[in-house]
Every structure is written in C-alpha cells, then in structure tokens.
Structure 1
Amino acid sequence: MKTATLQMCSSPDVAANLAGARALIAQAAAQGAELVLLPEYFCGMGLHDQDKLAWAEDFGHGPIQDALAAWASEFGLWLIAGTLPLRGTAAQRVLNTSLLFNPQGRCSARYDKIHLFRFGTEREQYDEAAVIQPGTQPVVADITDRSGQPWRVGLSVCYDLRFPELYRRHAQAGADILVVPSAFTFTTGQAHWEVLLRARAIENQCFVLAAAQGGQHVNGRRTWGHSMAVDAWGEVLAQRTDPGPGVVLAELDRAHLARVRRQLPALEHRVL
C-alpha cells in the first residue's frame, strides 16, 4: 500500500491552511497514495491557544470536516485528518481530535488525543490542558487498500508517542500501522522524535507513519518537522529533512510485517 505523510507549517489562517492541505493531498494522490496522513493542528496554529475555541466544530458538522470528507471522496483515498478542534463537554475546552475518512468521504473512526503536552524552559512554555480536554479511549480502525488487502491502523497524536502502553494496546488489537500526526517543538523533536518513532515501530513490530508540523510559525513557535515513515524493523523508509510543506511517500509491504514477526516473534514472548 502506498502512503503519504504530509508536512505543513500551519498559520492562524484556517482558509489558507485548508488550501495548503488540499494541494498536498492532490500531490500525494497524483503519485498514487492510498492512505494520506495530515499533521496535528493542520487546520490552524493560532496566535494564542484560545484560538482553537473559535475554530471548534461539533462532531460531524462544520467547514473543516466538510472539506476533509470532500477531499477523501474527490481523490478516492483514506484520509487521516491530523487533528482539528471539536467541542467537548468541558467549558472553554476543546478535544484535539483525529478523524479517519474513507474513500467515499465518510468518517469511519475518531480518536480524541489522550495525553496532553506540557513543557517548560526559560524560553518555552506549553500547556495543552489550558484549552484541551483529554480523550479517554484508544482507537484502532480497519481500512482496505486498493488491492482489497485489509490493514489495521492504531490512531495516536503527538505527545502520545511518549507513552508506549498506548501502542502496545494497539499491537494487542492487531494493528499493522501506527499513525502519529504531530507538532513536536524543535527542542523536543531534535532530541527525541526519531528515536521514539523507531522504538514504537520496533517494539510493536508495526509500520509507523508520522506527519509533522515543521518550520517557523507566525505565532513564533518553531516545530521540528522531519515527517517520516518507519518499517517494522525500525528502519526509516522515507523522511523529509527540509522544513516547511512537503509529501513523504512510502510503500508498505505486508510481506515485510510477516517476515519480521516470524523471524523475531517478540510479541508472542510477552510475559508481563
């Protein structure tokens, strides 16, 4: 199955971000992608955290979700929509939600980010809990490639990457692919991004697709980028090393999964 992880450098202009996302999806589709992954916050990186509240939509309704459904249908592909803000149950909070759309444009899975990022240095301060309500449930979804081959996809978002127990749950549920739409800071990404992605692939014997924000944003934030695809042996199949928007293509081979799991049946050897 041919996949595309999309890298963006989103701004506070939602309309411009949607136009940029569509252009990247069209580029990926023209190169044969069947599964496309957008980054976290693809629709907007605001000047202030509270900007997410103004962009929030009810699940199933809204211009951002309408655009995503239209793109999946137009290009006939599976589309994992990074994250967008959906209204939750907590006042002045939103859910940071990843949605999966099928090639007919229907939403077939929803995952609300469970782990909320907090990081502080003398120069940087981030606390997602200030405006985001955490999700509670892991989600694994079934997709089918154009040859009719089924795949299971474990959904996650950014900071989730630091919590291996979530991905082990996905592996136990039969995941073949782990997806990680992200907006890693430059500081944390430079230190930990690749090693964490490769570790999650190795320990769960799954492909990992990681679509990132990358570059210098209007709000002053700098994100690491380096969107990539990793195979089940931990090898990087493809990676974008330049900041800014781009498409990372990778071919996922089921025979590779079977070979790795047969040669080193680590998941069968679990004790705890």
Structure 2
Amino acid sequence: MTSGLRYDLATVDVLWRRDLARFFRQPSRLAGALGQPVLFWLIIGSGMASTFRMPGSDQGYLQFFYPGVVLMVVLFAAIFTTVSVIEDRHAGFLQAVLAGPGSRGALVAGKSLGSASVALSQAALFLLLLPSAGFSALSVRWPLLLAALSLAAVGLAALGFAVAWAVDNVQGYHAIQMTLLVPLWVVSGAMFPASPEHPVFAAVMRANPVAYAVSATRRALGGPDAPGALPGGAAVDLGVLALFAAAALGLAALAARRKGGAR
C-alpha cells in the first residue's frame, strides 16, 4: 500500500469516527433523532388515516407513510450533519485537514461517510417502531433496506457537503438545503402515491432520486409489490440510487477542488 493511500484511508477514518462520536456524545441529538420523526409520523398519519384510501390495498395511512418518514429521517440527518463542514471551517479544523497529507477526495469521502453513518444510525432508531407501523421485522428484506438507505444517505450527504463547501454561513446553508432537498422528499411519493390522473407529477417523481429510495424502502418492508412502489423493481431502484450517490460524490469532489471552500 502506497503512503498516499494510507494517508487517505487514515483521513477518511478520522473524519468518519469524529462525526459518529459527535453524534453519540450528544444525548439531545439522540432524543431528537427519534422524537421528532415519531411525532411527525403520528400527527400527520393520524390526521390522514380517516381519508386515505390506497387503490387496490387495505393498507392504512400510518403504514403507508412509515417508509416515507424513514427517508425523511435520512434526509434531515444528512442536512444537519453536513453543516459541520461550515462549523469546522470557522473553527480552523478544516484548514488543518487540508494542510495534512490526505487528499481532498479523502476529505469528501470521510465527511460523506460520517454524515451518512449518522443518518443511518438515526434511521435505525426509527426502525425500532416497525411493529407499531404494522410491519414484521422477520419479513423485512434487510439487505435491500440497508442498500437503499446507505446509497441514499451517501448521496444526500455528498450533496450536502457540496452545498456547505460553497456557503459561508449556517443560515444560508439551511435556507438552500430546505429549498433544495425538502421538495425532493415531498415529491418522492413519501406522503402520497403518484396518480395516473396527474402525469406531470408522476414524471417529476420518476426523475427524483429520493423517490427511488422511498420505493426501495417500501419494497423492503412490504414486499416486491408493496403499495406505492415505483414500476421496475428493486434492481431499478438501487441502480438509480447508485447513480445518484456517484454523481453526488463527483459533485462534492469538484466542489472541494476550490481552495479552502467559501470565505
């Protein structure tokens, strides 16, 4: 193994461990990671339960909405974790990493993997509620679920890194992310399935990578023909997510080529 590769792997490892340690050492973040999505799921789900009817299925809205909230957990975790790029730059930590022997690609990989791991940890907490949503943990297709959530988390974290690298303040970062990522979740089929009567909405959903993450999660929890899943099967869902993750990492790597990020 060359010395350059060793330095890159060490940089990735340090950044990954640092983001995980920061998350697990803050009990308030652990509580919020579970409390906020639970309230959102119960309040919205209970409010829609009496009016929601899924064509061809007797699935209730709380059960239908559950996979969408799982992805919401991943998305918001990616947003709030990658804001540390801005905080680290202001604290001088980012400059110290850039001055080290690791490459900028290692910086991108380490921060993206760290943020993605935090997002997956938060999703794992929410998945403890599977029985309450009407799903059996024994029937879940865990490899598919892990693959879908991992690819979505890496893609969203890398996208968050690219935005954070270009922005110099936390307020601006959150404004951009809420304008960019929240609409992706809203039109992903997380809350409502695409209707044949609205072809434009259906087309937008098929162009949205988050929709494939929601679709794969539905298939992992409810089977290959789960209500609300996109046409094409799990292989198509994972293929689109893999392309999204690769494109987002590429975008983050291009952004990191800017010396020092935003000033």
Task: Give TM-score scaled by structure 2 length.
Answer: 0.26
Task: Give TM-score scaled by structure 1 length.
Answer: 0.25
Q: RCO (CA 8 Å, sep 6+): is it higher in 1 or 2?
A: 2
Question: Higher strand share goes to which structure?
Answer: 1
| Structure with max Cα Rg | 2
